[in-house]
Chain A
Amino acid sequence: MSAVRRAASATAIGACIVWALATLLTVGSTYAKVEYVLTAYEAGSVARARSANLSRPPSPKRRIIGDGSVKQVRTDLSRFLGRPVTGLESQDRVTVHAKWFERVVTVPVKDRDEWDIVGVVALRAEPWSELLIPVGGIVAAMLMAIVLALRGLRRLEADAHASTYAFMIAPVAALAVTMAALAVLVRARIDGAALDFPTLALRDRFDSLTLPLPNGQASGLWLALVLVLAATLLFVAGWAVSASRRPAARRETLTAWAFLAPSALHLLVFTAGPLLFTLYVSLHDWDLLQANRPFVGLGNYAELARDPLFWKALGNTFIYALYVPFSMALALGAALILDQPLKGMKALRALVFLPTVVSYVAIAVVWQWMFNLDYGLLNYLLRALHLPGVDWLGNPKTALLAVMLVSAWVQLGYQMVIFLAGLQGIPAHLHEAATLDGAGPWLRFRHITLPLLRPVTVYLFVTGIIWSFQVFTLVYVMTEGGPVHATDVLVYRIYQNAWEFRRMGYASAMSWVLFAILLILTLLQWRALNKKVDYAA
């Protein structure tokens, strides 16, 4: 057996073991939570009987660790857990106490008015009793997947033309089928517990004396993620064996992935994960405050299509984005001027760049005053020229234009610096050669400077359009989307729906539409503008 196959076999076995452990953890923790809920319910029944001074409290199925005054139960519980237990006097809710694999659920006993804690009921939770079938299934699936993966790896090594995917699909399928069965089992366990748990329908006055049932969807999501991880590792193992005949290429790929892994992981957890979650949210009527978040399918997207404010905001966003080419043209002009080897240019560059590092809120407030109808600087200048004042932010015809002007002013410095870097990267000999050939400044700019600035231009244009579609702060501070929705833009509508109206599902649907628009625009821009120019070659 070659060293590569040994490593691949170890990876495949490891993947299956990781899958089994993570799945066991997910299923086990869900089962355990269900058990705590049921234990808390039993303890709560006893506690309520104690509160009502009933002589015959209900007998719980689970073992009683303590039932009496706080002091007495603290002693009993400490003895059982082997460590001191504190805070029972003030712990106003169900608490799960843990030591290694032991779990005890405590529920406070209140006085008749449910005000003072007069005692505690402590029951031992037994989460493992129901786990036999899932654990058996997980172990069986793990063993089967290991056997299938090792057989696949052996064949891959023997057959130079074999497809990695074909040979690795069998163990992945075994894991996937088990995952689906486990998801059904978990769901059944939660639903079964809900039937045994009548307080779900008849809620206590104080929810703190009951525990919520675990979320079956969350467990399903974790099971799917674990499956994806295991499948990825299995395919990596298969790929390693199939590529073993080209060790240099394999080493190169592995090195590349090793370098990429930290940022890829970061991207997966903090970007791709939330992104996919918003897709999930967008299919629900999702209010952060409500526990019930019904699935509405494409309902939110259909509502978007009918919402005139969404279309208004979308149109405004497209119009707003037009400031980008305008500010780029200004920035290029500024860069050409500031590229001259003259005294004071560095100070001037710093001055032009300054707005880029100033807080957007501060900029918005200052410009609000500049635009003020009665006391603003712009209208003061207009009146000095005997022109009528303009209600820049108060008039729907000028409000968006005013916000675009501010954006152009803010972006000018940043774009100028990037253009400046691009200008300084153009080899001087090209200009010299063109000058010798009799080309004037315009011809040199038209045929040398502009084409060689194309990568910089593409970069600024694409990022500028993306940023312009994400405009929020200026609108939020300067106009709040008004007047008459004249400056209502997509991200402001997303914010308003998500946080002011608490319509997270609708806001997520809007985010996905924004994402799709940006993706299409970016692809079109790349296709139209990204043509290589290399005079040096």
Chain B
Amino acid sequence: MIKHVSLRPVGRAARLATVAVASVAPTSACTWSARTVTLLLVALLAAACRGSGDETIVLRMTSWQSPQENALDLPAIRAFERTHPGVRVVNEPVSNQAEYREKVITAIASGSPPDVLLLDGIDVPSFALAGVLLDLAPFAGRVGIPLSTFYPTVLAMFSRGDAVLAFPKGFSPMVYFYNRALFDAARLPYPVDGWTFDEFLRTAQALTLDANADGVPEQWGTAVDRRFFSWQAMLWSGGGDILTIDGRRATGALDSPASIRALEFLTALVTTYRVAPKPNAFRAVSGTETRLFYSGRLALYPSGHWLIPNIRVQLARGQLSLGVVSFPHAAGADVITPLFASGWAVPRNTSHRKLAVELAGALSGAEAQRQRLIAGLELSTMPAVQEAFAQHDSLGLERSFLRQIPSGRAPWGARSPKFRELEAELPEILDRVIILGEPVAQVAADVARKLDLILLR
């Protein structure tokens, strides 16, 4: 008789279910609908009874990581569960970063946040302003990762005063990847860190080939992406910036002579020198330049460490031979590159503060970072871990990345709470100059005024 029941209630609920189902067995005159209703009631009762006897503590964590990345965190999670009997960690990832942000904001606003969440550097200012995250500084030592173990520049991105809003778990500077085979074919020496805009241009020109002279090169020297994160380093290394040093105004920075010169250089790569294809970096086809690079039709490609896992596939097949070099700089300016980082944070209103902080610590710990480093996802935020790994890297790429760290600076995203609004306006600079042919100085002045209005609001 009970074989019809597919539920597996526990304890008292199981006995209730047995009695209830037996009382409406088909031998009686009751109808199927009556049985269905009774079964539903029993199911509800079982569900209601279950919670009271279950003492397992569930910690919810969430991130925008891909399934492959989540798999890398599993050893740290399992180890945490082993050292915390009665605690179960449930991972609720959202692979799309925009949707992830919506989910986290809604969860915090509704008072039911996850216990641990992955915080992008760009969200630190707004989350800090809202005061929704727990200060992890007092607990860093307790969970086995003293704050002194992190790169100071990276840690500073997640700090406000003495407070630390997340344990940084990984980061990457922006660099240029270059295809060694194309350099060899053009008999050019490999670029070296600290090269200048002029050297960069000459190299890109030498590597741009239009064999059939149809006006569309078969091989491009470099690529320009309209999204700001991609050209932030070029602007900085040209001596310019989008905001003044206090982050309160754009006029005086974006329309400064240095910024205009840097932007002129960047856009001229497409318009005047024609060493880069027209930027076409809309959301779904942002991989156009990546594919050109993989297929040996692009010599210098600006990107970050996140490209390494895909590159490794090409390297393993022997289809690609590449190096990493810093962004070029203008004469009289230093090379500066943004550091993009993320870290594990704990909302203030979590139900299990201690456990959540311990879990955040475990996910940001040396072993977890080593796993991600081995997978090539990002640089470790711990110098000891990063340097030990770089020494064993036969490709030399990690050492090249390490060399960029002293030139690294926290991007504006990690400093300005209104950066998302500012960032949305910045591709307009490249669009108006490259597509509409407007002068850089005029466009920079226009956009600077728009940014000022956003900052003043």
Question: Which of A's residues lie within 8 Å of B, judged by CB?
Answer: 86-87, 90-93, 113-117, 205-208, 287-291, 361, 364-365, 368-369, 372-374, 391, 393-396, 476-480, 482-485, 496, 499-502
Q: Is the CB of A287 within 8 A of B130?
A: yes
In the complex, residue of chain B having the shortest beta-carbon distance to the beta carbon of A369: B285
Known: A92-B354, A374-B277, A396-B435. A364 touches B348 (CB 8 A): no
Among B126, B129, B139, B435, the residue within 8 A (CB) of A483 is B435
Q: In the complex, how many angstroms separate the beta carbon of A377 from the nearest chain B beta carbon?
A: 14
B264-289 to A contact mask, C-beta < 8 Å, 1/0:
00000000000001111011110010
- Cβ–Cβ < 8 Å partners of B385 in chain A: none
| SS class, residues of chain B in contact with chain A | helix
A429 to B76, alpha carbons, bound, how many Å?
Answer: 77
Among A91, A484, A501, the residue within 8 A (CB) of B431 is A484
B44 located at the interface, meaning its Cβ lies under 8 Å from any Cβ of chain A in the complex = no
Interface segment out of the listed B147-155, B371-379, B420-428: B420-428
Known: A90-B57, A92-B354, A365-B285. A393 touches B138 (CB 8 A): no
A290 to B126, alpha carbons, bound, how many Å?
Answer: 9
Query: Which parts of B121-144 form the interface with A (CB within 8 Å)?
Result: 126-127, 129-130, 132, 134-135, 138-139, 142
Among B127, B420, B428, the residue within 8 A (CB) of A485 is B428
- Cβ–Cβ < 8 Å partners of A368 in chain B: 282, 284-285
B436 located at the interface, meaning its Cβ lies under 8 Å from any Cβ of chain A in the complex = yes
Among B282, B349, B418, B432, the residue within 8 A (CB) of A480 is B282
Among A288, A372, A476, the residue within 8 A (CB) of B285 is A372
In order of increasing CB-CB distance, the 7 nearest A-B pairs are A289-B130, A92-B353, A483-B431, A288-B109, A207-B348, A484-B431, A365-B284
Known: A288-B106, A289-B109, A391-B278. A478 touches B353 (CB 8 A): no
Q: Is the CB of A93 within 8 A of B130?
A: no
Q: Is the CB of B284 within 8 A of A207?
A: no
B108 located at the interface, meaning its Cβ lies under 8 Å from any Cβ of chain A in the complex = yes
**Can you give 27 A-B contacts (C-beta < 8 A)?**
A90-B57, A91-B352, A92-B351, A92-B354, A114-B138, A206-B134, A288-B106, A289-B127, A289-B129, A361-B284, A364-B284, A365-B284, A372-B280, A372-B288, A373-B278, A374-B216, A391-B278, A391-B435, A393-B282, A394-B278, A394-B435, A395-B435, A396-B435, A477-B283, A482-B427, A496-B424, A500-B98
Question: Which of B's residues lie within 8 Å of A, judged by CB?
Answer: 55, 57, 98, 101-102, 105-106, 108-109, 126-127, 129-130, 132, 134-135, 138-139, 142, 216, 226, 277-280, 282-285, 288, 348-355, 418, 420-421, 424, 427-428, 431-432, 435-436
A93 to B109, alpha carbons, bound, how many Å?
Answer: 18
A90, A395, A476 — most chain B CB neighbours (10 Å): A90
A373 to B288, alpha carbons, bound, how many Å?
Answer: 11
- Cβ–Cβ < 8 Å partners of A206 in chain B: 134, 348, 353
Q: Is the CB of B349 within 8 A of A393?
A: no
Known: A86-B55, A116-B354, A483-B431. A288 touches B436 (CB 8 A): no
Q: In the complex, how many angstroms separate the beta carbon of B24 from the nearest chain A beta carbon?
A: 28
